Every structure is written in C-alpha cells, then in structure tokens.
Structure 1
C-alpha cells in the first residue's frame, strides 16, 4: 500500500497502473528459466495467471532451492503444486461468475467492448473499452447496471452476494455510488433538478440523498439481474471456462458475448423504489471493472 500523503495533488503528475501479466508473458518467463515441453509451459503459464512477475520469480527461486537441497531439478509437478497451493475452487467460481456478469451485461447494453477478463488469487478484473455516451439518464443508468452486474450475477447463481463488489475506492460499489451521486448533485438529472451542488461527498451524510442513491443503485442491480436471468446457463458456461483458464481475451470471450448482443431481451432500468432491500453478504472476492 502507498501512503495517501504521497499521492496528494502536486506530488506526481502521472500515475501508471501496471496490470498483472497475462499467460503469454508468464510463458515467456517460464521458457527462459525452465527446460520443459512447450505444452507444459503453456499449461503452467495458464495456471499462473493472477501472479505478478515478482510472485513468479520468488516461486522459481524457492523451488530451485528446494530442488537443489534434494539433489534434483525443478519439475512441472513442483510448479503445478506451487501455483495451486492457495486455490479455493468455490471462491474461484464465485469470482468467475462475478466477472462474467460484468462482461455479459456490458455486451447486452452495447456501451463497451470487453478487452480482457482475468482472475488473480483473490480477485478478478474485467477490462472494458467504454464507448462514448450522450450523457442521458438512460446512459448513466446503464453504466450503473454494468457496475452492479457482478453482484447481480452472484445473487443469481448463488442466492447470496459477497463483499467483492466493495472495498477500495475504485471498487464497483464506490464507482456506482459516485455515478449515482453525480446524477443527483452534478448532472441535473436527479431529484434536485437543474442544480449543480458541488463535488463533495458531504451529501452522503444526508439521509434523503443517501436513500435516493441506494434506490438508484438497487434499481441498477435489478436491471442487471433482469438481463442475466434468461442467460443463466450461458453465464455458468462462460464462468466455468474462465475459472479453468483464469483469463479470457476479448476475442475468446466473444463466443458468449455475441449471444447476449443478439438477444431481444435487453432490460431498461426499473424505476428506483424508496424502500431498498437488505442483501445477504458472504466472504469476498474483490473485483475491479476498468
């Protein structure tokens, strides 16, 4: 973690996010360090998706030390065991369902192009190239549905939701709250009418505003659920492949995404209700939708 003081305005002019390496990059490192058949290299690289280059380097050094003490070479079995040591199949499945929910709803609403979906050891990430929008209330409502789609997918498949949509300030819930707050206080599209009320989170302390935000976000989750429900089997099939492979490129994901793009059942956002429901919560997987 970086101290927030270091990231205050004026300290750095440019910030770069360095994504985790994909299977191709990991395979390149494994080829340089190991003498194994190419199919084995590719299988190991696929299993290692979600590890950083530093993780991979540390794992290789540790395994080399163990092998040296045992008087042998590092084997593929050593690496398979190391990469799978922390795997929790149920958690991996939940994260995969969550990420595929984002991808399918985004494809159904037609506002963005899925570029990459990946799982790491405790989270997931769906990278989206978002199309320009006109800024209509329907556009903002669709964006909210896309952000809430991971949570909706979990509820559809498991009947419960995890804390994976929440957490840090770039989480699904954080982004959805910002969008809903902007609708109410800055975009002139909410209950306050054509007023610009400032870029402040102080409005979150107002009970009436908070109730409107919650109703709007819950309506977006309901919209996502309405889109996903007829594609229940498609969601599970896509998530099964993602869980096994740990990543899907946009081209690979198109096999499933095209089926929702051509569907006639694309739901509009329901009207927000004043009495929000109280969701269940279980253990996280975290999610980032970029």
Structure 2
C-alpha cells in the first residue's frame, strides 16, 4: 500500500515511451508543492513562448517556467533544505518503510518529499516508532550536519512536528501502545487542549517524539555515505525524481 494514487485519469509514467517517462517525472518533482492553478499558468506561459517563436512546445520551456516560478534561495538556505529532505529520505529507506518518489528543495515554502509506504509490519509498535523517526529525520539531519535546527520542521499544522505530535498522541491514546491504560481508546476532539491540560500525557507524547529523534540521528550516523551523496545531488539539482534518489541510496551501499 502506498500514500499516492493515480486518481487523475492520466496515463501513468510507466506506460509512456521510455524516453518520455523520466522527463515527466522530473517535471512532476519540480512541481511538488504547487497548486493546479500554478501549473496551469506555467504551461500557458510556456505555450505562449513557443508560439511566439513559431515552434513546438519543448521540455525546456516547462522546466524553465517551473524554475522561474520558484524563488531564488540563498546558498545556506538551499543547503539546509537539502540536508533536511535528504534526512527524511535516508531514514525512510534505511528503516525499510518504502521507496522515495521525489525530493525538491526549491518549493516556495521550503522542501518537499514524496514517500511510498510498503506493507511489511505496518500497524505494529515498531512500525510506528520507525514512522516517528522518519518524521523527525529532517530535524535530526540538521542537528547532526549543521549543529542547529531551523523552523523547517515546525510552525504549521502540516509540519513534521505537528505530524509527530499527532502520531505520538495516537500511540498513547488510541492505538493500544499507551504507557498508561493502553487498552483504552481515548479520542480527543482537541489534541492541543488534551496535551496542555494533561501534563503526564504531554510528557509521554514528548518522550516518544524524543525517542524518534534519537533513532533518526542514529540511522543517519550509520548511513553517512548515502546521506552525504544525496545532499550533494539534491543541492545541485534542486529536484530529484524517485529513480534518481533510489539510485543514489542503493549505489552508496555497493
């Protein structure tokens, strides 16, 4: 089972001509984080450019449009984004959670990653602990390689810390892994209120997040060659599709 689907009705890239699929994957990776309206605007502008020059639309037109839409990031910021997203990918792969289908560091609001999740031991305590480590891996990578963490893992409801908090609360209150009364199912309409009003619960959830951070740091330490290779490649390319990421991760172990 994966977190992605082909619900658009478009032809999957695997069914396209061999020379076309990699190009479309690269464009799709560069478009991560954009809205449909953003992409439509870029395609319209690319077509207009080709029409003015009296030629067919080219891959380079679309790639240039995607690049121009993105902000120009300072060197240090792009390097941090590359470290953050590479951390997620390395831990995800090393813990056997599934394949990585894309990474980018040139999104308007930071980096993005697209990850597939395989079945395996999904649903077990160990699987949820590995998931926690994957969520905390971006922050762990920043701490290890830069000795400081940025707000890239926090500050929004869809952030790494928000997802880790939700997962930790679910493990303690709903999934049967709680340190206190594990067989009770306790659904909270307001997770924030539950954590601020119950100090013991907040401590247990925080401990699970800390454990995930520690596991992520250990995994990255044990996988520095693929980590370093992926950071360099992602920093240079700004966007890597799944096959490119997996090739780097697998090649580093050879």
* Aligned-partner Cα distance in 2 for 1:126–1:184: 27
The 1:241–1:187 alpha-carbon spacing in structure 2 relative to 1, beyond 3 Å, is: same
Decide which of 140, 144, 154 is 2:128's aligned counterpart: 140
- Which residue of structure 2 lines up, in the alignment, with residue 218 of structure 1? 210
Decide which of 197, 213, 228 is 2:186's aligned counterpart: 197
The 1:136–1:82 alpha-carbon spacing in structure 2 relative to 1, beyond 3 Å, is: closer
- Which residue of structure 2 lines up, in the alignment, with residue 107 of structure 1? 93
8 Å CA contact 2:89, 2:100 repeated in 1 = yes
* Aligned-partner Cα distance in 2 for 1:85–1:166: 21
The 1:49–1:113 alpha-carbon spacing in structure 2 relative to 1, beyond 3 Å, is: same
* Aligned-partner Cα distance in 1 for 2:115–2:175: 23
8 Å CA contact 1:86, 1:121 repeated in 2 = no
Structure showing greater radius of gyration is 1
Q: How does 1:1-290 map to 2 (within 5 A)?
A: 52-53=38-39, 56=42, 86-119=72-105, 120-132=107-119, 133-192=121-180, 193-200=182-189, 201=191, 202-205=193-196, 206-258=198-250
Provide the secondary structure at the position in 2 that maps to 1:112.
coil
Residue 231 of structure 1: how far off its partner (Å):
2.5
Query: What are the Cα deviations for residues 105-151 of structure 1, in whole angstroms up to 9, with x where unaligned?
Result: 01111012111112224411111111234422111100000110011
TM-score normalised by the chain length of structure 2: 0.70
Q: Which runs of 5+ in 1 are unaligned?
A: 1-15, 17-23, 25-44, 64-75, 264-290
8 Å CA contact 1:186, 1:199 repeated in 2 = no
8 Å CA contact 1:101, 1:228 repeated in 2 = yes
Query: What are the Cα deviations for residues 253-282 of structure 1, in whole angstroms up to 9, with x where unaligned?
Result: 11232267x69xxxxxxxxxxxxxxxxxxx
Residue 86 of structure 1: how far off its partner (Å):
2.4
Q: Which runs of 5+ in 2 are unaligned?
A: 6-12, 14-26, 50-60
8 Å CA contact 2:140, 2:213 repeated in 1 = yes
* Aligned-partner Cα distance in 2 for 1:135–1:257: 26
* Aligned-partner Cα distance in 1 for 2:123–2:248: 28
Provide the secondary structure at the position in 1 that maps to 2:123.
coil
Number of aligned positions between the proteins:
212
* Aligned-partner Cα distance in 2 for 1:259–1:108: 13
Segment of structure 1 superposing worse, 216-225 or 118-127: 118-127
The 1:55–1:160 alpha-carbon spacing in structure 2 relative to 1, beyond 3 Å, is: farther
Residue 185 of structure 1: how far off its partner (Å):
0.5
8 Å CA contact 1:146, 1:224 repeated in 2 = yes
Cα-Cα RMSD: 3.5
Query: What are the Cα deviations for residues 177-221 of structure 1, in whole angstroms up to 9, with x where unaligned?
Result: 111001111112111221111133132111111111111101101
